[in-house]
Amino acid sequence: MKIVYVLTTGKGGLPHYAAELANAVSKLVEEVTVIKPAITTADTMFSSKINIINAFNWTGLSIADVYKRGMKQILTKEVLGMLISHKHIKKYLNEIQPDIIHFSTDLFLSGISFVSLGQLHARYPVIVTCHGLPHNKKLLNTSNIKNFYDICINIGSFLSLHVLKKIDGIIVHTKNDKNLLVNKDIDSRKIFVIPHGVYSIFKKICNEYFHEEKETILFFGNITPDKDINAVIEAIMIVKKQIPNIKLIIAGNGKIPNTCKMIIGRYKLNIEIYNYFIPNEKVCEFFSRASVVVIPEKRSRGGHSGVLTIAYSFGKPVIATNVGDFPILVRDSGCGFVVSPKDPKALAEAIVRILEDDRLRKKMSRNALKKAEELSWDKIAKRHIKVYEEVLEGDR
């Protein structure tokens, strides 16, 4: 079986997803090729077994860039790049003649262009992984649009749904995501639920040993309107009254609200800020230092998270919000607590409870490591192979 993975963005965490998946699948099939931008955040992580084709001259955008930089970046990097590059995709595919084409990192505007302009779905079996879908009841309802970020998310969702109806297979991470697509008139038979694999790759590339800091909390990843960073900072102010030496690390690209900056200025001894895309070698440091990882989603976009899987690979307890599948992945698995969105007091109580109970924290840590084994990429890869075989059988 020949598999081609098309990586439509070079920035953010999704290139790491493509690398983990392609590496694991390459152990099971005849040939794996990755068509990608010339520069990505995971370039050093691809296995030597994989054929790499650097097909694009632009690196694409992350969700945080959309929120932070706006329309100019979209027009210059994404739209122009996709119009230029889709012909190159067709050329490489004609040479490889793959059995399956898999867009493993969402469609974005570039992927939509490649499928639609190149008519790839008419020539090859095409599969797309959807990493997150808005779970509001009225998808694309204009009343939900409050800023440019929301406009981009809604336009992208609308265009993606149009393309998803044409292709052969759709992989989502949760049953909630599948139900949403079914409610949008997409055939349930071509939707497959496969959990997000655990990002173990960051732990493997650790060059230094970092001690865990007992009173350190980590917020990691894109800083966007979907993440309630305000609640995290307010929670730390509450926790400080009981644990004076509490430390919050905020590490990620995006725009920190001005209200948060004012509070951060008053609590410099308790809050460390790294407001940029975190390079691979620093990921190990931040997760090693943390005692607890917080994932404060405001609204459900599937209820899963790449940050969650990194935390599990390092054996870290997690406090997430009660949206999507987080109750199953975090609370029911014994790996942490879930709290209501936009509730700093509840978040603070959960932080204190974990930090002040060594026995509980160690138990959650062991459960997180067990969950990491359950979601290993070797197991996730086998499930992908079954999907590929089913799609090929249906295509024949």
Answer yes or no: are the C-beta atoms of 29 and 59 closer than 8 Å.
no
Count Cβ neighbours within 10 Å for each residue of 201-214 and write b for 16 or more, e otherwise.
bbbeeeeeeeeeee
201-374 shares the fold of 2-197+376-395 = yes
Q: 201-374 — its CATH code?
A: 3.40.50.2000
Looking at the domain 2-197+376-395, which fold is it?
Answer: Rossmann fold (3.40.50)
Q: Residue 78's pLDDT is what?
A: 55
To the nearest whole number, what is the mean pLDDT of the chain? 84
Sketch the domain layout of the chain as residue ranges: 2-197+376-395, 201-374
pLDDT one-digit tens code per residue, 53-102? 998 765 555 666 655 555 555 555 555 555 556 667 778 888 999 999 99
Give the residue from 224, 250, 280, 361 showing the smallest Cα distance to 43.
280
Tokens of residue 351, six digits: 């932080």
pLDDT one-digit tens code per residue, 278-324? 999 899 999 999 999 999 988 655 567 889 999 999 999 999 999 88
Collapsing DSSP to helix, strand or coil, 174 comes out as coil
